[in-house]
Structure 1
Amino acid sequence: MRFPIIFLATILISSCSTERDDQTLKPDIIEVLNDDENTENPDSFIDDIKFIDLKTDDTFYGEISKMKIYDDKIYILDENVRVGLYVYDLSGDLVYEYRNKGQAPNQYLQLSDFIVNEDESVELLDSYLQKIFTINKKGEHIDTKKMSFPASDFIKHEGHYFFHTNNLEVSKGEEPIGLLVKSNLSLTEIENIIPLDTARGEFILNQRGENFFYWKGNAYFMDIFSNKAISLTPSKPNLEFDFGKKSFPTDFFGKNDFPEQGLYLNHIFSNELAWNLTGFYGFEDLLFFKFALGMNEYFSFYDQSNNAIARNMRQSWESNNLCFSFFSLPVATYEDNLVFAINANQVSQLKENGCSELEGLDVDENNILMLMKMK
């Protein structure tokens, strides 16, 4: 699934801040808990399962923090161990690696996200230095942009950047930077789309997931403490996830003032509130996502054509396919495939289950990708 992205070379100048009127379109409602039934068989959604082994003998990344597959290339961000970008082709061969950590000009310190542009250049977000580094399709540095605020995630949509600030309260003059921020590509015009939740503060500051996602030609932002995915196109409606009596209260942090995060979590768990919506991946009329009810994590498929939800606790999904397992959240999409990263122990478990597709693959700790093709 490809989405055209516009790239412009820009010159950085000072920022300004404006406010946008609240979206007034009626949201599209997705009833997640509309009955008490669980769906235990995903075979109505999954057509086939294949595997790719990434050849990591010469160059080994420490972990897959984020992944994108674009134009038949696999882009892997390792933000914690070897801190760099690793690019493979679909045969699993390394195309290039970009590692340039340091404190010299045009070096990064803490990468947290990246964008692949239409020309195969890559923009890397340094959440600590508040910079965007751009490299060309050969992995050579070509540009650096300075931001006026910190952000952990970003996306490009309709010729603009959108940044998730993780609710960090940082001011530019007297104008606070919001939770979701829009800017032009030169970072000179800043617009707050969602304000900071000052009552929430830094609660679960570093909870990570795919906050931005594409579906049906649009882009959305999902905050883990909201029941809405905000449309990044103002003329298109938001998505609202209805969990009935389990819906996370919109005024939760305003009404609850616990002295520590553990007490907030205890309250969420004991009341089995629906929260932590993330991991969104869209396919035609199908939308995959995860959520939690208290401490239990659920994986879900929403079929818009039938207005139907199939959901179950992650470990409870069962399939007739011997290669199927939901070990963890997907890390990317490729065409009609959900892409997962599985480790050596998980590979061994699938082999024990009878998955012949894994025979002959060269397995190390985290080099195997599992591709689930959606029907």
Structure 2
Amino acid sequence: MRTLIIITFCIILISCGQEKQNTPERIELNLKESKRSLLSENFEGIKYILLDYQDSLPMVQPFNFIFHKNYIFVNDRVLENIFVFSSDGKVLKVIKSTGTGPQEFIQINDFQVFDDQILIKDNRLMKIIAFDFDGNFKFELKEDLPSYNFYFSNEFTTHFMNNNLSDGGFNFIVKSKDKVIDRQVKIKGGLSDARMAVANSFKKNNFKNEVIFTIPFSYEIAFFDTLGKFKNTIEFDLKDSGIDLDKRIKLRNGTLDYAIVKEEGLTEMISSFFPFDRQYFAFFERGGNEFNYVFLDQNFKVTSQSNNLKNDIDGMTIRNVPWTSTNEHLVFQINSNEFLDDYNKKFDKAEKKFPNASIHDFISKNSHLLNQDKTVLVLLKVKNPK
């Protein structure tokens, strides 16, 4: 009896010391069932914001967008600066990458807004550095884990490794201070060199106790609690539109021509996954030219599935890749020159068909700036489920 107890105790110790193996919940989705639809079926309005920065300090390549309270935060991937905008697009502050010394950063691998502070992860300097919204230095922490994205809380820091095998072959590492306390979601064999800059980092769901991360080169979504502790994953089963791991690896290493994606109407990965009030939104690009908008309820049951949208709200062209989200909106970004060109092409028809649409007032107020190579944000307000 004593031997049995000792053996059982040893098994418990061993199992507690191992990382848990995750089995994703499978969500079936047939993209071939998507239908063309009107924009008004899932959205109830459009808002436009012009990000008005100066030529003397331009925003060359805006990448990550964070909407927080009455602010919009944007990082420039070229000049490695953080822009702080008001909710109507006016520059309030630019936090510049200034050097390699204390209280400085030189590279933005990812950034997060937490407790009214901007936290920046700089892998070259191996630290996380924090500023307030006015650009005043707050603190910095040493961080030598070469993660690409991070989520910071008072209890933990959760890292996405972007298929980097440097810490045990897991894509998510959870740390408490300097100690690793959890590793989750094994990196799939053959994808260890597959890296992708993620435009949407860890996304907090302000309607539920969860944080969401869309895993690149997959159909998987990882869920964490608001402290950053791993909960579970879901994975979409795209049937004939999906790509298995073997084919994905061949596409990545060049032994399979990418033309097959278009020829067979395949979907390489999930492009985005955003939380809204009592629902989720997922976006898939199928065959390289078919854009699928999918809404799901809180239990991940598909409630609406559209490919390509006809804008019956104001007639403007919808640039079909959603870049980020707010609590209420899908957000797209478009170069202001392209935006103005789109409007001019559609002006006569749009003015007659949608005379009261807000787009006309937006163009009138900003026409002198739109031809100056700036960025326009297009916010589609999502309808709440009935």
TM superposition shift of 1:48: 0.9
SS of the aligned residue for 1:274 comes to: coil
For residues 157 and 39 of structure 1, what CA distance do their matches in structure 2 show? Answer: 41
Higher helix fraction: Structure 1 or Structure 2? 2
Summarize the alignment of residues 162-181 of structure 1 with structure 2, pairs less than 5 Å apart: 162-171=158-167, 176=168, 178-181=170-173
Q: Which runs of 5+ in 2 are unaligned?
A: 1-16, 351-358
TM superposition shift of 1:269: 5.1
TM superposition shift of 1:123: 0.4
TM superposition shift of 1:97: 0.9
For residues 166 and 231 of structure 2, what CA distance do their matches in structure 1 show? Answer: 29
Conserved 8 A contact 2:63-2:199: no
User: Residue 348 and residue 266 in structure 1: after superposition, are their counterparts in 2 closer, same or farther (change >3 A)?
Assistant: closer
Task: Tell me which of 89, 93, 97 is aligned to 2:94.
Answer: 97
Alignment of 1:65 onto 2:63? yes
Task: Tell me which of 232, 236, 246 is aligned to 2:241.
Answer: 246
User: Residue 358 and residue 281 in structure 1: after superposition, are their counterparts in 2 closer, same or farther (change >3 A)?
Assistant: farther
Alignment of 1:348 onto 2:341? yes
Residue 370 of structure 1: aligned partner: 378
Conserved 8 A contact 2:50-2:374: no
- Of residues 64-73 and 357-366 in structure 1, the stretch that sits farther from structure 2 once superposed is 357-366
Conserved 8 A contact 1:19-1:192: no
SS of the aligned residue for 1:50 comes to: strand
TM superposition shift of 1:132: 1.1
Conserved 8 A contact 1:53-1:368: yes
Conserved 8 A contact 1:86-1:94: yes
Residue 196 of structure 1: aligned partner: 187
TM superposition shift of 1:115: 0.7
Cα RMSD after superposing both structures: 2.9
Q: Which amino acid aligns with 1:201?
A: S
TM superposition shift of 1:76: 0.8
Residue 284 of structure 2: aligned partner: 291
Larger radius of gyration: 2
- Of residues 45-54 and 194-203 in structure 1, the stretch that sits farther from structure 2 once superposed is 194-203
For residues 127 and 264 of structure 1, what CA distance do their matches in structure 2 show? Answer: 34
Task: Tell me which of 124, 133, 140 is aligned to 1:137.
Answer: 133
User: Residue 162 and residue 78 in structure 1: after superposition, are their counterparts in 2 closer, same or farther (change >3 A)?
Assistant: same
TM-score (norm 2): 0.78
Task: Tell me which of 358, 363, 366 is aligned to 1:358.
Answer: 363
**Bigger RCO (CA 8 Å, 6+ sep):** 1
Q: Which amino acid aligns with 1:114?
A: F
TM-score (norm 1): 0.80
Conserved 8 A contact 2:110-2:149: yes
Task: Tell me which of 19, 30, 39 is aligned to 1:33.
Answer: 30
Q: Which amino acid aligns with 2:33?
A: D
Conserved 8 A contact 2:172-2:183: yes
SS of the aligned residue for 1:348 comes to: helix
SS of the aligned residue for 1:298 comes to: strand
Query: What percentage of aligned pairs have identical amino acids?
Result: 17
For residues 284 and 252 of structure 1, what CA distance do their matches in structure 2 show? Answer: 36
- Of residues 83-92 and 121-130 in structure 1, the stretch that sits farther from structure 2 once superposed is 121-130
Task: Tell me which of 121, 141, 148 is aligned to 1:125.
Answer: 121
For residues 138 and 204 of structure 2, what CA distance do their matches in structure 1 show? Answer: 27
For residues 220 and 178 of structure 2, what CA distance do their matches in structure 1 show? Answer: 27
Deviations 1:102-157 (A, max 9, x none): 23334323212111012x11101123333211112321222222223212112246
